[in-house]
Chain A
Amino acid sequence: NAGVTQTPKFQVLKTGQSMTLQCAQDMNHNSMYWYRQDPGMGLRLIYYSASEGTTDKGEVPNGYNVSRLNKREFSLRLESAAPSQTSVYFCASISDVVKRDTQYFGPGTRLTVL
């Protein structure tokens, strides 16, 4: 049971390049989330998927797109990277929202945009 996994761990991009961050969970969780972590600002929600087949914007969605490929996988895409997207990105998942279960986090992807 690996929990929540993310790839890659590190990535350096040039301004304007595109890339996709991958996230997968093996806990059969329904909801999945993408957050970004910036120094002194805690984590902020980018996009989320309450269930397979649905996605919604969070607090800071501009410049990103997401795909809930299946119940296990939730990817985050940067179409044209900008230096302001330099951050650490975390994926998370939760089994049952109504029961107020715990949200589990992946190890993160550290992205630098030059």
Chain B
Amino acid sequence: GNSVTQMEGPVTLSEEAFLTINCTYTATGYPSLFWYVQYPGEGLQLLLKATKADDKGSNKGFEATYRKETTSFHLEKGSVQVSDSAVYFCALSDLGQGAQKLVFGQGTRLTINP
């Protein structure tokens, strides 16, 4: 079945450091790929998405490119801020029976120190 594997955390960086969180996937067909972010005590919010190969999703300085050849969707940001501290989830969509069933990675906790 479909699956998502994320970089193990937790990840701790200093403010203004470069961030990469790795995500690889296994899927049949052509899923959409997502990064969701969860701030403490809150639900998940969509950070960015890509719906086909070579698409680049971007938002709030974060970027990720849908790489079909390496089955990857790594999250990057050039200069992180303390406010980026959160848990990040990579996910793919499994479409079928008229529904969009999301398959999530285990999440990566990111802490940014001032």
Chain A residues closer than 8 Å to B46, beta-carbon distance: 102-104
Q: Is A111 part of the contact surface with B, judged by Cβ < 8 Å?
A: no
Flag whether A107 is at the interface (Cβ < 8 A).
yes
Pick the interface stretch among B62-70, B73-81, B101-109.
B101-109
- Interface pick from A12-20, A41-49, A64-72, A74-82: A41-49
8 Å CB contact of B100 from A31, A41, A105? A31
B51, B89, B106 — which one has the most chain A CB atoms within 10 A of its CB?
B106
Q: Inter-chain contact count A-B, CB under 8 Å?
A: 67
Q: Which residue of B lies closest to A42 (CB)?
A: B104
A111 → B minimal CB distance (Å): 15
Query: Cα distance A14–B25 when bound, in Å?
Result: 38
Closest chain B CB from A22 CB (angstroms):
15
List the B side residues contacting A44 at CB < 8 Å.
104
Is A97 on the interface with B (CB-CB < 8 A)? Answer: yes
Number of interface residues of A (CB under 8 A): 30
Chain A residues whose CB sits within 8 angstroms of the CB of B102 once the complex forms:
33, 35, 43, 45, 92, 103
Whether B97 contacts A56 by the Cβ 8 Å rule is yes
Chain A: which residue is nearest B46 at the CB level? A102
Q: Does A45 lie within 8 Å of B101, measured CB to CB? A: yes
A100-B31 Cα distance, complex, nearest whole Å: 10
> What are the residues of chain A within 8 A of B98 when measuring CB–CB?
31, 50-51, 54, 97
A94 on interface, CB distance cutoff 8 Å: yes
- Lowest 6 A-B CB distances belong to which pairs? A42-B104, A50-B98, A105-B43, A50-B99, A105-B44, A43-B104
Complex A-B: 22 CB contacts under 8 Å: A33-B102, A42-B4, A42-B6, A42-B104, A42-B105, A42-B107, A43-B102, A45-B102, A48-B99, A48-B101, A49-B99, A50-B97, A50-B99, A90-B44, A92-B44, A97-B98, A97-B99, A97-B100, A100-B93, A102-B49, A103-B100, A104-B46
